[in-house]
Amino acid sequence: MEGSALGHHISRRFDGDLEALRGRVLNMGGFVELQLQSAVASLIEGDSELGLKVSHDDHKVNEMEVSIDEECSRLLATRSPAASDLRLIVAVIKTITDLERIGDEAEKVAVIATRLAMVERPGDRYREIKHLGRLAQRLLHEALDAFARMDADSALRLCREDRFIDEEYEAIQRQCITFMMEDPRTMRRSLDVLWMARALERIGDHAKNVSEYVVYMVHGKDIRHTELDDVERELKLTGRR
């Protein structure tokens, strides 16, 4: 095989490897989405078996992270990627770390939900957690969608929308503190709600991180700890948007 043909063949194989790598990340993301959905459902429906399943399946998320990380290491060692290919692999390594942590937070919700399923559920069926859970699920889903489509504009928008989860968490926090001060008998339930709300708020943070990595993959710009207005202004000035 001539040198140019060999180089083209190797390049095509590498492109295939990268596409397969992205597919594995999205498969992991889909499984983590299911874990989160099931964790919240186990609380709302009082389904202890579903909560136990989420806890039991957390090891699958960990195994996916390790396997994808090993593939990234192999590609870095054997392909010596440059420019956008290198950014993709770096972003994948960071993304799977956040997805694994989302899995951990979903497990926390499921553990509490499993215990609460053994006692009488309140009449509001944990309405505040249900709403916050929906916000977290939507942010995660759309972050993964932006990753799949390499859509930096959507990713930037999602970075802004994380504040809605923060605001909802702060409202739940104030409500729970008020309940505990007015009636100490509500302390156990309020603390459980606070722990679950905190876990969901952290999931929102990790989903935001995934969105930031999309911008890095597409534009090569690390926007962590940067004002989003400044990021958008710079991308417009450089013609990247």
State the CATH number of the domain containing residue 92.
Answer: 1.20.58.220
Please tell me the distance from the alpha carbon of residue 105 to that of residue 84, in angstroms, as a whole number. Answer: 31
Q: Which of 23, 118, 108 is nearest to 64 (CA)?
A: 23
Q: What is the pLDDT of residues 192-221, one digit of tens each?
A: 999 999 999 999 999 999 999 999 999 888
Angle at 143 between CA 224 and CA 87, to 5 degrees: 55
> Backbone phi, then psi, for 203, in 5-degree steps?
-60, -40
Write out the residue range of the structural domain in which residue 215 sits.
3-237
Q: What is the pLDDT of residues 57-98, one digit of tens each?
A: 999 999 999 999 999 999 999 988 888 899 999 999 999 999
| 3-state DSSP helix/strand/coil % of the chain, to nearest 5 | 85, 0, 15
Q: Which of 161, 105, 100, 98 is nearest to 129 (CA)?
A: 105
What total number of domains does the chain contain? 1
